Amino acid sequence: MNMANVISPSTVDALIKFGIDVAIILLKIVIVLAIGLLHVAYATYFERKVIGHMQVRLGPMRVGPHGLLQPFADGIKLFFKEDIIPAQADKVVFYIAPIIFMAAAMVNLSVIPFDANFVIADINVGLLFIFAMAGIGVYGIFISGWASNSKYAFMGGLRSSAQVISYEIAMGLSLVGVMMMAGSLNLSDIIRAQGESIFGMYAIPQFIGFIVFVIAAVAETNRTPFDLPEAESELVAGYFTEYSSFRFALFFLGEYIAMILMASLCTICFLGGWTLPWYVLKIFPFLSYVPGVVWFVLKVYAFFFFYYWIRATVPRYRYDQFMAIGWKILIPVAIGNILLTGLVKIILKEVL
Amino acid sequence: MAVTEVVAGLHPAGIEQEKIAEMIKEKFPEQVIDVTNFRDQVAVIIKKNQSFSILKYLHDEPVLSFDHLRDLTAIDWSNKKEVRFEVVYNLLSTKYRHIIRIKAQVPENDAKIASVVPIWAGANWHERECFDMFGIQFVGHPDLRRILLPEDWEGHPLRKDYPLKGYEGDKDWPGFIEVIKRSQELKEFEWHD
Amino acid sequence: MIKMQEPEKIFETRELNVNMGPQHPATHGVLRVVLDLDGETIVRLTPYVGYLHRGIEKLGENLSYFQALPLTDRMDYVSAMSNNIGYCVAVEKLYGIEAPPRAKFIRTIVGELSRISNHLLWLATHALDIGAMTVFLYCFREREWILELFEMICGARLTVTYPRVGGVRNDISQEFIDHLVKFLAEFPSRILEYETLIDQNRIWLKRTVGIGVISAEEAINWGMTGPTLRGSGIPYDIRKFMPYDAYDQVEFEVPIGTAGDTYDRYRCRMLELRQSVKIIRQCLEKLPAGPVMADAPKFVLPPKDKMLIITHPVNEIAYFIDEKACKGCGMCLRACPAKAITGEKKKPHKIDQSLCLQCATCFVTCKFKALKIIPGGKGQPEEKLVELSAQPVADEFKKAQEALVAHFDFIKKGPKVPEGEVYVATEVPKGELGFYFVSDGTHKPYRMRVRSPSFIHAGCLERLCKGHLVADVIANIGTIDIVLGECDR
């Protein structure tokens, strides 16, 4: 039988189209991964420089001009260090944990729309997907703490899972207002709806949700002042105390990717993603020629800078105080915000 | 949480040291062996049997109220004096600003004295150190263990018959010998050019 | 009302036993704390110390009073200057001498500088433990400045050994005073800088207020001293109670707290920083002129430039080997640092005058008294030296020799001290540092006892931490301000 008879020309077309789609997606993945990892590398550099200057010192200066090659030096160092596995550790789980953590963080990059038409997987439940993956990431933390067979790591793992789970609730609730206003869970749609709204960005009408989200985002990524799972002065390094070499680097990468993710999510849901508010464009019309991805990245950087700023400024909360903030303040406030949003929406509908 | 700056209320200096010594003598005439004075510092040497009640009296008596145990230590007189050990209490009253030193004689064959932890909680570690360094037993101490030296240490280093370099003398520390031995064992795995 | 039913006991629960230290980022050195935790709450806390025990008290009994001074640097290496002063004040009391007024003022200045530097390090690490990272670096900026000031007066930054028994090692220079004035002008604004970061910070307040509360009676009963005690409200400050050095000639106030918690102790130290600045300012104003070492030849070393030979300046003497007395043993030959002595065994040696450093090493080494010190011999030819040494011993020469021998004797053995005992305490930044000396009339202390505040404070740790959470252990270790070098001695 002839192959051409079996596969009709339309099928061939479909196949070719499918092939091209796959190729484009692969290309996008490569671009996102490369740029994402480069950003992780330079986020560490940026952090050390920013905090350094805030603390009247210079930060890395030795490797390359102004220490620009420092991230690569660090990466190479981590690669070639001895990989130590504690004798009493549960080896298989010990191996898997950082991979789960890292993978769960990385997968999220696939649903982030970096520009109007640049998203790897434009799925309808983007926001839910991110929450689901963040939930899986907790497993990585928790089992790494358990598998290390060290008390510090164990306590770090316990603290971290409790922290991430409780703050996920607050974060999810804080985003409900956004979902209600946009009427979609698709991240690109949320951005578009934002661009079309009167405010241009949801940070203004949803400011309560915005504040709750920012606090929860800091907690979710285990950063100061909520860095209890890895509180240096208490638990040495928390859940990755026993990790070294590349496995440690995986945790490190995962954490910074999670930071990128949170910054992106904040940009998407509250700061208008790649769009600029219409009133800004009205005043400076020439800004519309700047590609959208630039605005997106700039907003992410601004959020990063905020991360570093608070790290250099505030002390660390105690575990119980921190949980109290999550459960007694943030969650009720977020629920109140949902009620308020719904109420305003109904009133507006009635009035208009 | 209010912190104020004050000129430390300088109460008139309390009772003179000689008078305190007199008071102790009056109250416990049998117990006081000697009173010495050197560079304006008076020391009362007492017998150890009632040391606890004397110190309790010093702490509780409202006129004296020695509330601060500045220091507790011991002296090993070796063969210089009849009684080998002296446990020394340096006391101060933060209320009246007077001081006194009490020295209780503890013979070598019965190196025990009542613990003063019930009077001054801070004596806890002092007495542990004293036990560690001199081997004096403090009766009634809640947790008398070695403190600065390892639990399995032999001897009491601040005794005068304990040599400066320890009983081991010039011998290497066993841990060090172990390390050397181990490095020799592992020599065959070393990299050679 | 619904009654909660007691859940059936399926598992046996027990406390989690966590070993913190001696290698831990927040235990300030090598403190080891064993925690029994119920969840995050502390049920039992047992501190273990002694990892840094060097036997300073035993060493002190085997060294002269001069020689033991550098040991005190190694106790509280964070504020070595204060420890030196404490030792010197105690030994002076034992000797019965007093430092000259200028030395007293200088000691007060450096002592207070040391207090500032200690409190800065304390604040830095305490804040870092609680998570405020920037305060750490801000504090170290100023601490560096103070260490540079120390370097300016004595060449050392950390282990200074600058105060001496009977005074201080050398006078301070005008350059130092200028820099100090600049520092004093700048520093109060820097204190404000630290306070803006943490003083009213909500998180800082949450972490410190009501943590490690101890009442005044209990604090004194536990033997606490220094700011740790004053935070509870007892104005016990040895600088006021039994003034030493120049503290009775300056005006200052003692900050005391009311609540006795970590925050009050923090505030006390912050206010003490300001008081220290005030004290130094007054000292600089009142700084009298005069010598910096006590005039007590029996107890105190003579000034450096008069040390080697008292009647002659150094460059006017020559060393010469008497050929008749020399047995050719080679001792001096080996001992000479300049290798100026030549000769064979069993034959008289010779000194090459051009190489001789006049260090007197050969003079001390020679057992046969073959070495002679010749006054006015410098630059003379060899024959002339023989001639000079053959002359009957001049009075001058004899005097010089005796002075030298006496000096060596003095250095080697130290001064003789009358029989007796003293306990002298000084207010170091961490609390009451007491030295208890028992002298049996010889050159060395019969018993040297150091009452270190860190040791006592470490003992209070269990009392402070019980019932708190793990994170509060860190706050409490910070607030009692311990240095393990001093604790373990």
Summarize pLDDT for B22-54 with one digit per residue, the tens. 888 888 888 888 888 888 888 888 888 888 888
Contact C390, C325 (CB under 8 A): no
Cα gap C248→C32, rounded to integer Å = 40
The mean pLDDT of A116-134, rounded to a whole number, is 82
pLDDT band at C311 (very low <50, low <70, confident <90, very high): very low
Helix, strand, or coil (residue B61): coil
Q: What's C400's DSSP letter?
A: H
**CA angle C221–C222–C223, rounded 5-degree value:** 90
Does the pLDDT of residue A169 top 70, yes or no?
Answer: yes
The pLDDT of residue C399: 61
Mean pLDDT to the nearest integer, A107-123: 81
Is C275 at the interface with chain B, CB within 8 A? yes
Structure-token match 């549960």, residue found: A90
Residues 126 through 165 of chain C touching chain B, CB cutoff 8 Å: none
> Which residue is closest to B9 within chain C, CA to CA?
C235
Mean pLDDT for chain C overall: 82
Q: Which helix (H) or strand (E) holds B99?
A: strand B99-106
Q: A124 pLDDT band (50/70/90 cuts)?
A: confident
CA distance B50 to chain C (A): 21
Give domain limits for chain C. 65-297+457-488, 305-413
pLDDT at residue number C309 = 47
Q: Examine chains B and C and say if they touch (3+ CB pairs below 8 A).
A: yes
State whether C261 and B1 contact (CB < 8 Å). yes
Q: Which of C16, C17, C131 sits opposite A315 (nearest CB)?
A: C131
The better pLDDT of the pair B175, C89 is held by C89
What does the mean pLDDT of chain A come to? 84
- The 10s digit of each residue's pLDDT in A234-263 is 777 777 888 888 888 888 888 888 888 888
Instruction: Tell me the CATH number of domain C305-413, given options 3.60.20.10, 3.40.50.300, 3.30.70.20, 2.40.50.140.
Output: 3.30.70.20
A8 touches chain C (CB under 8 A): no
Give the nearest chain B residue to C53 (CA atoms).
B148
Residue A209 DSSP class: H
B7 contacts on C by Cβ (under 8 Å): 240, 253-254
Nearest Cβ partner of C129 from A56, A233, A318?
Answer: A233
Strand partners, B137: B112
Per-residue pLDDT at C168: 87
Span C420-431, average pLDDT: 89
Partners of C22 on chain A (C-beta within 8 Å) are none
Q: Looking at residue C116, what is its pLDDT? A: 92
Mean pLDDT of C128-142: 87
pLDDT band at A75 (very low <50, low <70, confident <90, very high): confident
Tell me the sheet residues that pair with B71.
B90
Check residue C312 and give its pLDDT: 46
Tens digit of each residue's pLDDT (9 = 90 or more) over C191-216: 888 888 888 888 888 888 888 888 88
Contacts of B126 in chain C (CB under 8 A): 223, 456
- Look at residue C305 and tell me whether its pLDDT is greater than 60: no
Q: What is the DSSP letter of C394?
A: P
For residue B9, name the pLDDT band (cuts at 50, 70, 90). low
Structure tokens belonging to residue C327? 């047995």
φ and ψ of B105, to 5 deg:
-80, 130
Q: A-chain residues within 8 Å CB-CB of C133?
A: 51, 55, 224, 311-312
CA A238/CA A209 separation, integer angstroms = 30
Instruction: Specify the DSSP class assigned to residue C275.
Output: H
Q: Does B123 touch chain C (CB under 8 A)?
A: yes
* pLDDT for residue C108: 92
Calpha distance C118→C77 (Å, rounded): 9
Q: Which is more confidently placed, B113 or A164? A: B113
**Nearest CB to A321 within list C129, C198, C206:** C206
Question: Quick check: B116 and B52 in contact, CB under 8 A?
Answer: yes
Judged on CB neighbours under 10 Å (0-12, 13-18, 19+), A1 is exposed
Mean pLDDT of C399-412: 70
Q: What is the mean pLDDT of residues A85-99?
A: 85
pTM, whole model, 2 decimals? 0.82
Query: According to the model, what pLDDT value does residue C310 have?
Result: 44
C72-127 pLDDT per residue, tens: 888 888 888 999 999 999 988 888 888 889 999 999 999 999 999 999 999 988 88
Q: At residue C455, does pLDDT exceed 80?
A: yes
Is the bond preceding residue A225 a cis peptide, omega within 30 degrees? yes
Query: What's the rounded Cα separation, in Å, for the pair A118 and C128?
Result: 43
pLDDT of residue C181: 92
CA distance C44 to chain B (A): 14
The secondary structure of residue A240, as a DSSP letter, is: G
Q: How many CB atoms lie within 10 A of CB C159?
A: 15
Provide the mean pLDDT of chain B: 83
Contact C118, C471 (CB under 8 A): no
Which chain A residues are within 8 Å of C24, Cβ to Cβ?
236
Q: Which chain C residues are Cβ-neighbours of A152 within 8 angstroms?
A: 18
Beta carbons of C23 and A241 less than 8 angstroms apart? no
Q: What mean pLDDT comes out for the span C252-273?
A: 87
Place of tokens 């033991």: C68
Please, which residues have CB within 8 angstroms of residue C289's CB and are 6 or more apart in sequence?
C102
pLDDT-based confidence at C289, cuts 50/70/90?
confident
Residue tagged 């006049």 (tokens): C358
User: Quick check: C241 and B121 CB within 8 A?
Assistant: no
Q: Do domains C65-297+457-488 and C305-413 have the same CATH topology?
A: no
What does CATH list as the number for C65-297+457-488?
1.10.645.10
Share of chain C above pLDDT 70, in %: 88
Structure tokens at B170: 């010039």
Rounded to a whole number, what is the largest CA-CA distance in chain C? 118
Q: Which two tokens stand for residue B87?
A: 């446990």
